């Protein structure tokens, strides 16, 4: 028997509060059934595309659709992280396009608020400057994706381990939206304030998670008061989705409690 959250967080913020579809060690539908009464949105994790059970079946998609109607929740989709639009291998880039198209078609009944995408940087490339070949390959992949009919605004490009300025041109040229992952920014030592100032107006989803000792996706209570203050201050006016991107019940519960305490405290004080 899974533990339930102690109370609902629906509708208490000017944005949609969300978490992942892997809070309990169970399949996606039981996770969503447990979380739907308490949150505004669920981030459906499709991290792996090559495992046979990593993408929900049509039956499961229909069940998720019924849950959304019963509980008034929405969904966003995290696209697989094992597909590579910047690959130098043309077959891998075509696989990326086909996989994204398949998932978008498969989940269309759910009307996701966004499809979040990693533009993963090659591990072997120079980390001090942008790999132009990688960038050109991403342009090629994105042109194919948009030409196939994908709405560019439905795709949110996530902040990762490299400077987001490297792919700023791709975001603007294709009119993509942004996923600000505040945990990734803190983990990699980037200026959180600068990224929020530059991209919040085209951001559809914010990922929040704790960071400590070079580990991320921990409870938000691992962040300092100053780090939480910076994030909350620069979320002002945001009306999209804020996803607590953790993967266990204990981390979700402590994250929600910490976030609520900090949010309501800083709303009453002068930033």
| pLDDT tens digits, 17-67 | 999 999 999 999 999 999 999 999 999 999 999 887 889 999 999 999 999
- 212-224 tens-digit pLDDT: 999 999 999 999 9
Angle between helices 58-71 and 90-107 (to 10 degrees): 50
Please tell me the distance from the alpha carbon of residue 28 to that of residue 225, in angstroms, as a whole number: 33
In angstroms, the CA 52 to CA 141 distance is 24
Look-up: residue for tokens 């998670």?
209
Q: What pLDDT sits at residue 268?
A: 81
* Domains assigned to the chain: 16-267 (3.20.20.150)
Nearest residue to 199 (alpha-carbon basis) of 220, 176, 183, 216: 176
Phi first, then psi: give them for residue 22, nearest 5 degrees: -130, 70
Closest CA to 21 of 47, 42, 50: 42
Confidence of residue 271 (pLDDT cuts 50, 70, 90): low
What pTM was estimated for this model as a whole? 0.98
Mean pLDDT (the chain) is 97
Determine the average pLDDT of the residues in 106-121: 98
Ramachandran category for residue 217: left, alpha or beta (phi over 0 → left; psi -120 to 50 → alpha): left
CA distance 160 to 137: 18
Q: How far apart are CA 186 and CA 216, in angstroms?
A: 9
Could you tell me the pLDDT band of residue 192, with boundaries at 50, 70 and 90? very high
- What CA dihedral angle connects 134, 216, 245 and 193, to 10 degrees? -70
pLDDT above 80 for 133: yes
* C-alpha to C-alpha distance for 204 and 207, rounded to whole angstroms: 10
The residues pairing with 76 across neighbouring beta strands, listed in sequence order, are 43
């Amino acid at each position: 028997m899974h533990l339930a959250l102690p109370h609902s967080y629906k509708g208490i913020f000017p944005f949609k509060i969300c978490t992942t579809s892997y809070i309990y060690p169970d399949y996606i539908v039981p996770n969503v059934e447990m979380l739907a009464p308490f949150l505004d949105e669920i981030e459906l994790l499709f991290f792996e595309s090559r495992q046979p059970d990593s993408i929900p079946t049509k039956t499961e998609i229909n069940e998720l659709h019924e849950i959304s109607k019963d509980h008034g929740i929405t969904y966003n989709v995290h696209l697989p992280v094992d597909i590579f639009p910047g690959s130098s291998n043309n077959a891998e880039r075509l696989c990326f396009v086909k996989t994204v198209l398949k998932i978008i078609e498969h989940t269309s009944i759910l009307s996701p608020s966004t499809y979040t995408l990693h533009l993963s940087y090659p591990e072997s490339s120079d980390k001090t400057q942008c790999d132009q070949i990688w960038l050109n390959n991403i342009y090629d992949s994105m042109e194919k994706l948009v030409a196939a009919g994908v709405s560019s605004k439905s795709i949110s490009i996530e902040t990762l381990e490299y400077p987001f300025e490297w792919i700023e041109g791709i975001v603007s040229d294709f009119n993509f939206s942004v996923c600000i992952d505040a945990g990734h920014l803190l983990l990699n030592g980037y200026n959180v304030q600068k990224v929020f100032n530059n991209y919040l107006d085209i951001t559809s989803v914010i990922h929040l998670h704790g960071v400590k000792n070079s580990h991320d996706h921990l409870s938000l209570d691992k962040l300092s008061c100053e780090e939480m203050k910076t994030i909350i201050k620069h979320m002002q006016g945001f009306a999209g989705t804020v996803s607590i991107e953790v993967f266990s019940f204990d981390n979700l519960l402590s994250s929600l409690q910490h976030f609520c305490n900090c949010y309501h405290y800083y709303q009453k004080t002068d930033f």
